[in-house]
A and B are shown apart, each in its own frame.
Chain A
Amino acid sequence: MDATPIQTMQREVPTPATTMPIKVTARDVNVFYGDKHALKEVTVDIPDRGVMAFIGPSGCGKSTFLRCINRMNDTIPSCRVTGDIRIDGQDIHDPRLDVVQLRARVGMVFQKPNPFPKSIYENVAYGPRIHGLARSKSDLDEIVMTSLQKAGLLKEVQDRLGDPGTGLSGGQQQRLCIARAIAVSPEVILMDEPCSALDPIATAKIEELIDELRENFCIIIVTHSMQQAARVSQRTAFFHLGLMVEEGETTQIFTNPRDNRTLQYITGRFG
């Protein structure tokens, strides 16, 4: 048998390889809940203007890591985070940094839509108002309209902005939460299973929205749906037992993962 190596290549990647600058860097991030070591030595670079998906079985640490990025874990008393996380090179654990400001830069959308018990308008206007982003009523109106527009909700709600946000359908409520998140002009949007409570049509609308938003934001999404990760993200990271096992281009992860654990998980083989 001829031993000369044979030339091979990866399959062409349909989405352009990410050449965007890095938005979020994490170095050796560890998270402890009391004695439990929930996240171990996570190091990753997350590019701007793109979608990164975190996948993995329940309890693997993916949501824990997501919540590190806007310091949501600070609210859990037993939780301790070590390591270095930077956004545009700025250390998010810098004591001089205002956490409220950080959370304005790093918005979050949760699993279950959680609009405030206020009108649709007030839901979106709340953030810009408390952060002082609008100088006048017309400024605020414009922010609310643009945000609803960007979230793909304006057409459906423009003639009933005074109605309660909680009266919308689940999918609309989730898009309202996305409008609320982008109203404060964040740089990073964290999404923790944003579609798990939605039907397929509402899910498709959110996915379409994510696809549009990625032109302007750095989006990080935790999802249990592998197909969703494959559809919406350009890069994917697989977490297992607190470790980030593998991170790479989404097409590579889903067609030819390097790590056997990734393969077992995404093909449905974990025992």
Chain B
Amino acid sequence: MLLAKLLALMGAREEATNVNEHIVKSYEEELALLDKRIAQMGGLAEHNLGRAFSALDKHDPRLASQAIEADRAIDQLERDIENQVIVMIAKRQPMANDLRHIMTVLNIAGDLERIGDLGKNIAKRALAIAGEHHPKQLMAGLGHMAELAARQLKDVLDAFSAHDDQKALAVWRSDASLDALYNSVFRELLTYMMEDPRNISLCTHLLFGAKNIERIGDHTTNIAEKVHYLVTGRVLTEDREKSDDTSSVLLGKPATE
């Protein structure tokens, strides 16, 4: 198993060295800087999602404030990437895989910025409900969602940096499980609200929190699609299986088919 992995890794490296470096070294450095900035942005977004969820889970307003503050760095990185891409297009007139690389980076930066905002929004809600008591089991489903979303985000960023199409497609396909989790959290929260109207305020915040995580999953699949384009030069045309059916759920009625 380990040997197979090692061999696969060596194969991948051979593949990668098949494409030479640019004659102009500074071009190569600029591309590397773009990747580095995406990695930074992704790392921050992933970390901040964890922090925002912890703030929610542990009723920690200090952690929540940190998470809100940390989003600034993500926004700044997006602006840096945008500026760099504009200059590179003007200066290098990128072609073929370089062009796909640069455009993919620009798109991914946009998705990561949105992911950062969604994380910040969770932190804001954590701040709003920090004083409220919320039952442990309510948080379990949300916790699973946050964990899965963070893992997918990490996987898709790994897929980007390794130019690994298969890994990106695996993330793309597995968004369905995040949607399924969201469906069950949605129903659970509805039940709580129906049981006792005093839960409505808290549960609404948690519901938006869950929705935010679900949206993070959607941005992650966007990134997976971009990685696929980067690696293969082809655009995914297949519709991803949509499992979020909460938009058609009515109180006291089953979801319409």
A, B in one complex: yes
Contact yes or no, A270 B20, CB < 8 A: yes
Closest to A9 in B: B237
Contact yes or no, B96 A10, CB < 8 A: no
Q: Does A137 reach chain B (CB closer than 8 Å)?
A: no
Closest to A226 in B: B95
List residues of A (1-33) whose CB comes within 8 Å of B's CBs.
Answer: 1-2, 6-11
Q: Does B19 reach chain A (CB closer than 8 Å)?
A: yes
Contact of B235 among A1, A2, A11, A257 (CB under 8 A): A11
Contact of A8 among B166, B170, B235 (CB under 8 A): B235
Contact yes or no, B27 A6, CB < 8 A: no
Residues in B with CB closer than 8 Å to A263 are: 19, 96-97
How distant is the Cα of A2 from the Cα of B21 in the complex, in angstroms?
34
CB of A232, distance to nearest CB on chain B (Å): 15
Given A2-B173, A227-B93, A263-B97, A271-B23 contact (CB < 8 Å): yes
How distant is the Cα of A263 from the Cα of B19 in the complex, in angstroms?
9
B216-257 vs A: 1/0 string, CB under 8 Å?
Answer: 000000000000100011111110000000000000000000
How distant is the Cα of A255 from the Cα of B93 in the complex, in angstroms?
12
List residues of B (4-58) whose CB comes within 8 Å of A's CBs.
Answer: 18-24, 27
- Among A1, A11, A264, A268, the one with the most B-chain Cβ atoms within 10 Å of its Cβ is A268
Contact of A269 among B22, B173, B234 (CB under 8 A): B22
Contact yes or no, B100 A8, CB < 8 A: no
Contact yes or no, A260 B173, CB < 8 A: no
How distant is the Cα of A174 from the Cα of B27 in the complex, in angstroms?
34
Closest to A254 in B: B95
Closest to B233 in A: A256
Contact yes or no, A266 B95, CB < 8 A: yes
Residues in B with CB closer than 8 Å to A75 are: none
Closest to A7 in B: B238
CB of A4, distance to nearest CB on chain B (Å): 9
Residues in A with CB closer than 8 Å to B190 are: none
Q: Does A138 reach chain B (CB closer than 8 Å)?
A: no
Residues in A with CB closer than 8 Å to B170 are: 1
Given A263-B19, A267-B22, A271-B23, A10-B235 contact (CB < 8 Å): yes
Contact yes or no, A271 B232, CB < 8 A: no
How distant is the Cα of A2 from the Cα of B238 in the complex, in angstroms?
14
Contact of B21 among A6, A266, A269 (CB under 8 A): A269
CB of B100, distance to nearest CB on chain A (Å): 7
Chain B's interface size range is: 20 to 34
Contact of A268 among B22, B100, B166 (CB under 8 A): B22
How distant is the Cα of A206 from the Cα of B97 in the complex, in angstroms?
29
Residues in B with CB closer than 8 Å to A7 are: 236-238
Residues in B with CB closer than 8 Å to A1 are: 166, 169-170
Residues in A with CB closer than 8 Å to B18 are: 260
Given A2-B173, A254-B96, A263-B96, A9-B19 contact (CB < 8 Å): no
B76-100 vs A: 1/0 string, CB under 8 Å?
Answer: 0000000000000000011111111
How distant is the Cα of A266 from the Cα of B23 in the complex, in angstroms?
12
How distant is the Cα of A7 from the Cα of B235 in the complex, in angstroms?
8
Contact yes or no, A268 B235, CB < 8 A: no
Contact yes or no, B97 A267, CB < 8 A: yes
How distant is the Cα of A255 from the Cα of B104 in the complex, in angstroms?
13
List residues of B (165-187) whose CB comes within 8 Å of A's CBs.
Answer: 166, 169-170, 173
Given A1-B170, A254-B95, A264-B19 contact (CB < 8 Å): yes
List residues of A (223-271) whose CB comes within 8 Å of B's CBs.
Answer: 226-227, 230, 254-257, 260, 262-264, 266-271
Contact yes or no, A256 B23, CB < 8 A: no
How distant is the Cα of A8 from the Cα of B229 in the complex, in angstroms?
9
Contact yes or no, A256 B19, CB < 8 A: no
Closest to A252 in B: B233
Residues in B with CB closer than 8 Å to A2 are: 173
Contact of B23 among A6, A255, A268 (CB under 8 A): A268
Contact yes or no, A271 B96, CB < 8 A: no
Closest to B95 in A: A266
Sorted nearest first, the 8 A-B pairs with minimum C-beta distance are A256-B233, A8-B234, A7-B238, A266-B95, A269-B20, A7-B237, A9-B237, A267-B98
- Ordered by A's residue number, 29 sampled pairs between the chains whose C-beta atoms are within 8 Å are A1-B169, A6-B228, A7-B236, A7-B238, A8-B228, A8-B232, A8-B236, A9-B234, A9-B235, A254-B95, A254-B99, A255-B95, A255-B99, A255-B100, A256-B234, A257-B96, A260-B19, A263-B19, A264-B19, A264-B20, A266-B95, A267-B95, A267-B98, A269-B20, A269-B21, A270-B20, A270-B23, A271-B20, A271-B23
Q: CB within 8 Å of B: which residues of A?
A: 1-2, 6-11, 226-227, 230, 254-257, 260, 262-264, 266-271
